[in-house]
Structure 1
């Protein structure tokens, strides 16, 4: 099975998370996507909502989308959500499956600051979402890694070669641009504005029923 993994604070989860995940799922013929809220994000400020509230919102979204599942492995952890530890645990849980960890190009260019980042490739492939026409600067230190591990032009070869299935490759995927951020959504909600075009109805219903993100 080919499993995509999208982690995040999801505070709240919105179409800016969901639509790229759907595009990646289609582009790489993934069997399912795990949406994985983190508990203590090491690179971000602490979430506005509790872990339980964010888990509920993600679970609601997954119930509405075919091939999407909630993954609570990081939410149950009382230590910072280091991705390498998470992927090692997920690989142990899915030893025969092929894991694809999804990130944005903005995260990829900061990858060298991540805890034991080189070991990520031991457990999964990386999927790097990028805007149409966007290219990483040739002088950037991550460009060599992207070039060496990129298989954007060799998906058929990858699928046919069992040696490539444990991880270690990078799959750049061009996604539809979206100007959506959780920060902006929270600001709208705090002003009693309804961002109905940015959130799935099930998410907006939960936020309104629980009176979340109010000033």
Structure 2
């Protein structure tokens, strides 16, 4: 199968995670998108609620959307979640799958600060989410990498074999999607102020947060 991987703290998960994941699945004709909550992200000191609650909220979302599946490999880890290590483990566990790691342009620009980032290209394709018409500055160090490895979504799909094959890796696939102007920080602030978040998170997430009295302080 062809599997998209969307990682994050999901603190909490919101429509800015869900809608792009569904849009990417459709554009790239993926079989599934796996939502992968982090346990200890290397770039953050901590999360606002514990792993149990973040995992439960993502699990509920996956029950609501058949296209999305929960991947709990990182949240069960007691060490920082390095993407290269995770993808190595996934590749070993599921050698028959072809993985597409989904990231935004801000993460792509910062890739050189990631642990063993060059090895990512031997483990997966990278799906690069960008706003329509946006271009990376030619002076940026990652511009050359993008030029070398980029392939359009339609060209990538056209090259896919029609029968079972050895999974491939190494491409960067830019996708123009309707990025949602939503962040977990904004959601948390609204919850603290008891403001309406119905247009930002799924109803099941809002119910779970209310039931467990999360993000109140």
TM-score normalised by the shorter chain: which range applies?
Answer: over 0.9
Aligned to 1:77: 77
Listed as ranges, the gaps of 5+ residues in structure 2 are: none
Cα separation, partners in 2 of 1:11 and 1:156, compared to 1, 3 Å: closer
Q: Distance in 2 between matches of 1:166 and 1:156?
A: 12
Find the residue that maps to 1:172 and give its secondary structure: strand
Q: Distance in 2 between matches of 1:109 and 1:41?
A: 18
Q: 1:192 aligns with which of 186, 191, 194?
A: 194
- Please give the residue correspondences for 1:27-106 in structure 2 after superposition, counting only pairs within 5 Å: 27-106=27-106
Deviation at 1:44, TM superposition (A): 2.1
Q: Distance in 1 between matches of 2:86 and 2:165?
A: 23
Greater than 2 Å deviation, 4+ residue runs: 160-166
Listed as ranges, the gaps of 5+ residues in structure 1 are: none
Asked if structure 1 preserves the Cα contact closer than 8 Å seen for 2:33 and 2:68, the reply is yes
Aligned to 1:158: 159
Deviation at 1:109, TM superposition (A): 0.4
Deviation at 1:163, TM superposition (A): 8.2
- TM-score w.r.t. structure 1 length? 0.96
Deviation at 1:66, TM superposition (A): 1.4
Instruction: Note the alpha carbon deviations across 1:96-154, whole angstroms, 9 max, x for none.
Output: 11100000011000001100000011111100100111100011111111111111152
CA RMSD of aligned residues (A): 1.5
- TM-score w.r.t. structure 2 length? 0.95
Q: Distance in 2 between matches of 1:185 and 1:80?
A: 25
Aligned to 2:133: 133
Asked if structure 2 preserves the Cα contact closer than 8 Å seen for 1:5 and 1:102, the reply is yes
Number of aligned pairs? 215
